[in-house]
Structures are given as structure tokens and as C-alpha cells.
Structure 1
Amino acid sequence: MKRIITANVNGIRAAEKKGFFNWVKTQDADVVCLQEIKAQEDQLDERFYPKEYHCYYQSAEKKGYSGTAIFSKQAPTQIIKESPWDDINFEGRFIQADFKDFSVISIYIHSGSAKQERQDLKMAFLTERFMPYLQELKASGRKVIICGDVNIVHQERDIKNWKANQKNSGCLPQERAWLDDLFFEVGFIDGFREVNQESHQYTWWSNRGQAWANNVGWRIDYQIFTPNLKGTVKSADIYKDERFSDHAPLIMEYQL
């Protein structure tokens, strides 16, 4: 059994102050994937390198921005910090850990909410670069789990205010259609939905208003995997007992 956690921490130093690393120590996870660490490695002390784990960071070139990380109990056979895309590497959006029988990727997909230029970049990346890459992963036969903040809800049950958000980044028809293609045409699997079909299961809440208190959320954090891992998910839970950022950790257990 493998226990894998993914969490957008929205600033790893802020999350640490809110008890994130103390919580991680209680989880006995085999792999922890982080997104939006917003820190350079020289800004992180021993608190950010739990002794139970091999810790790997991929920071953005721009300080205080983006960035990903992977912690693993077992030493990986290799760590890949360079994706095939220079702009993704510049923003620290990708890191991969290879193990003997499978690989785990921590990825942070662009948000398009800031301006149209970023939304156009997001869609171009998804359709022209990321989808062909995923198709190649499938064809390779490698077992791969992609963990991260995808910044897209898939279906109506994955967002509280479905109608009101149809024109907003993260819920646009073309974004959701991209996930349709990934899951229904290419055959990748939304791990959470393998075992949980309930509505109102969210991983992100706006800091505006009373979104958290009223559970006005979006499910935009995923563990997505290659078709050859179908049937391996044993459980999937969104952890909401404590709040470390505007996202909640997604915890999944696999029979690997």
C-alpha cells in the first residue's frame, strides 16, 4: 500500500507556521507532493526537510512565486527537475520522482484568472504541449501518478456555484472539455473519482467572503494517473480538520 498526499500550500513558510509539517509527521505518507511553495531553497531551514523524508524542491526563478516539491520515504531512483518546457521550469511548476515500479509528478498548472494573456498561455500549454506529453506517457507503459493543482474543475458536482462561474477561468467550457478528453478519450483516470462519487467535495476555497465556512469551493487539486493504474485506488480523502492554506490536502492510498 502506498499513501500519497498532494497539497497546494500557497507559501510553504506560511503553511509551516500553521502546523503543516507537524501534520505531515502524523500522516505516514510514502510521498508528499507540494505546489506553490513560494520559496527558494536557501530560504528554508531544517524545519522544511523532515528527517523521515528525502526532500526535493524545484523553486521558481522569481522569488516568492510558484514552485513545487516532492518528499518521499523511499529514495527515488532519480529526480527530474527539468520538464520539456523552459517556461514551466522557469516558474518551478514541475518536479518528478522515479521509483522502481512507478513515477510521481508534482505539477502546478497556470491560473488564468489574472488576465487573458495568462488564460491563453494556460490553454496553449494544456492543448499543444501537455496533452501530447501525457499521450506519450501513456504510450511508454510507465505507471505515473500526476499530483497537483490543475486549476480546473471537471464537472458540475465539482464546484458550488456552477452557473455563476461558467465565464471564469477554471470553469470555462474549453478547460473542462480538455479534462473530458484526458479522462474519456486518452484514458487517464481521476483518482478521487475512482472511489468517491459524491458532490460538494472541494479542495479550494476563495479567501473572499465566507467561502470556507459555507463550503463554497472548487475541486481543482487532483491525483491523475495512467490507465495502467486503474483499480489501484483504495481510498481518497480531502483533509479539512485543519487549514494550512486556501487549498486542502488530497490524501490517497494505492495498492501498488
Structure 2
Amino acid sequence: MSLFKLTSLNLNGIRSATSKGLEDWLLQSKPDCICVQELKAQGADIKDRFEVLAGLKGHFHFAEKKGYSGVAVYSREEPSDVIVGYGSAEFDLEGRYLETRFDRAGRKLSVISAYFPSGSSGEERQAAKIRFLAEFCPYMLALKNEREFVLCGDINIAHQEIDLTNFKGNKKNSGFLPEERAWMTQLLALENAGGGMVDVYRKLHPSTTGDAYTWWSNRGQAYAKNVGWRLDYHLATPSFAQGAHTAHIYKTEKFSDHAPLTIDYDFEV
């Protein structure tokens, strides 16, 4: 069994992240695959510039709205199929789901980049976020019955109190609301019944606090003071998650307001 190195990163704009050295880092870190979110770009912006990053070929799901959302998967190996969107009449227009399939000799495996909505801008977007969660959970569980997969992305939920610095002051804020955390608990608790998902980072580091953060506000020197949140995840089917053995959050350089989360798996793509 060979090593499969998988990275997830919210770019906060692909043009911005690459201007800060992302490609050089990818050349050094050599992931087999990187799932990215918040491209903030359209097809015309990608063409002839970002179709390939550090030797990894990209596949994309763009939002209809310019400069908004968008996800991609860059991979060293060519996928056997690419699924753009998950069939949502509302959210596929926002460019939130890209699935690359690597099916080989009877084995079915998907690597997914997903960008969950944020509700921090107000009640309307929070309501949209709750609608997304309600329709996406059964979709994930149905997919799990068909194939092995790992979903990488900005989930915009800090699940536990150890997943953010100021949990007491954020209990009424989007990203740490009781109903959001309950959604995550339900998704993961089903694992014990053979039907749920695995939070792979927490499988490897069940009690890590400050070193687990992947996002920091741009206000009040949050990054310098490590006042952060863990918003970026690898959510995997149980058998795929069993192959995970090393997780790393890269903070030496700052490409975005998020940090890259890389997990090594014993798995041959």
C-alpha cells in the first residue's frame, strides 16, 4: 500500500493565494491531491493560468455569481469521472461541490472538495446554511452506501469546545450554534452504527486544542495571538479513515485566512 497525501485549503481567492506563494509550497510539500475552496474566480480567470498548479491538474465547480465561492480538486492522477454539484436546485448555483472519482478494478473511491455556507453575514444566510445542512447530510450518507470517499473542505462549523479559542463567547454565533454542532454530532455518531462519517483529524488528535485551528479572523491580531477556529475538515467513510496516520496544519506561511490541512493515508489512488 502506498502513501496518499491529501490537502484541503480555503484559498480566499485563488489569485490572492497564488500571489502569496501557494504554488511554491505545493512544489515542496508534494501532495497527491489538494481540495480547494473559495476560488472567487470563473472559468475565464482560470484558463491558461490556474488549470494546473505545481503539476496537479484541476477540475472545477464555479459559482454563477462572479467573485464568489467556487471549489476545485487538483490531482496528480487523472480521475475516472468528475461530478460537478450534488443535485441541489439551490446550492449548486453557488459552486460548493466537486467530486473526483478514482475507480479502479472494482474499488470505488471519491475525493470531494466542498464549501459549506457561512451564516455569519446575517439571518438570511444562516437560514440558507441550515437548509444546506438538512439536505446535505442524507446525500453524504447515501453516497457512503455506494462508495468510499473523503470530503475535504471548509465546513464552517467548530464542532466541540476545543475547536475554538473563545467557546463561551461564541455560543450564539454562526459556526458554533447548538443546532450546527448537533448536526455534526449526529453525522459522526452514526459511525458507531456503521452508517456515519469520521472526522479524521479528531481521530488522530482527539484532544488537541490551539494547534488544531485552521481559520483566524482578520481582526484584532487573531492570527498572531492564535485566537482561532477549527473549520476545515477531512470527513471520511470509516474504512478509508482507518488508513489515516499523519495530520499536519501548515502555519509557517500564510496563503489565506485559512491554513492548509494535510493528512497522509495508506491508500493507493
Q: Same fold (TM over 0.5)?
A: yes
Distance 1:45-1:26 versus aligned 2 partners, 3 A rule? farther
The alignment yields a C-alpha RMSD, in angstroms, of 1.2
The match for 2:120 among 110, 113, 117 is 113
State the partner residue of 2:236.
225
The match for 2:182 among 168, 177, 193 is 177
State the partner residue of 2:22.
20
State how far apart, in whole Å, the 1-side matches of 2:70 and 2:199 are.
23
State the partner residue of 2:257.
246
Q: Per-residue displacement from partner, 1:123-155 (whole Å, max 9, x unpaired)?
A: 12212x111111212222x11000000000010
Alignment TM-score, normalising by the size of structure 2: 0.91
State how far apart, in whole Å, the 1-side matches of 2:166 and 2:120 are.
16
State how far apart, in whole Å, the 2-side matches of 1:209 and 1:69 are.
31
Where do 5+ consecutive residues of structure 1 fail to align? Answer: none
Matched, 1:135 2:135: no
The match for 1:103 among 103, 107, 110 is 110
Matched residue pairs, number? 254
State how far apart, in whole Å, the 2-side matches of 1:151 and 1:2 are.
25
State how far apart, in whole Å, the 2-side matches of 1:248 and 1:46 are.
26
State how far apart, in whole Å, the 2-side matches of 1:24 and 1:46 are.
19
Alignment of 1:1-256 (within 5 A): 1-48=3-50, 49-50=52-53, 52-100=55-103, 101=107, 102-127=109-134, 129-140=135-146, 142-185=147-190, 186-197=195-206, 198-200=208-210, 201-256=212-267
Contact 2:141–2:196 under 8 Å retained in 1 = no
Q: How many Å apart are 1:54 and its aligned residue?
A: 1.9
Distance 1:204-1:51 versus aligned 2 partners, 3 A rule? closer
Contact 1:109–1:149 under 8 Å retained in 2 = yes
Contact 2:199–2:235 under 8 Å retained in 1 = yes
Contact 1:5–1:251 under 8 Å retained in 2 = yes
Most deviating of 83-92 and 12-21: 83-92
State how far apart, in whole Å, the 1-side matches of 2:200 and 2:155 are.
14
Contact 1:236–1:252 under 8 Å retained in 2 = yes
Contact 2:9–2:261 under 8 Å retained in 1 = yes
Q: Per-residue displacement from partner, 1:83-119 (whole Å, max 9, x unpaired)?
A: 2113222111110100024101100000001111111
User: Percent of aligned positions with the same letter in both sequences?
Assistant: 44
State how far apart, in whole Å, the 2-side matches of 1:77 and 1:236 are.
27
Most deviating of 164-173 and 197-206: 197-206
Amino acid at match of 1:39: A
Most deviating of 107-116 and 225-234: 225-234
Q: How many Å apart are 1:51 and its aligned residue?
A: 5.8
Q: How many Å apart are 1:233 and its aligned residue?
A: 0.4
Task: Describe the SS at the equivalent of 2:87.
Answer: coil
Q: How many Å apart are 1:45 and its aligned residue?
A: 5.0
Where do 5+ consecutive residues of structure 2 fail to align? Answer: none
Task: Describe the SS at the equivalent of 1:148.
Answer: strand
State the 4+ residue runs in structure 1 displaced beyond 3 angstroms. Answer: none
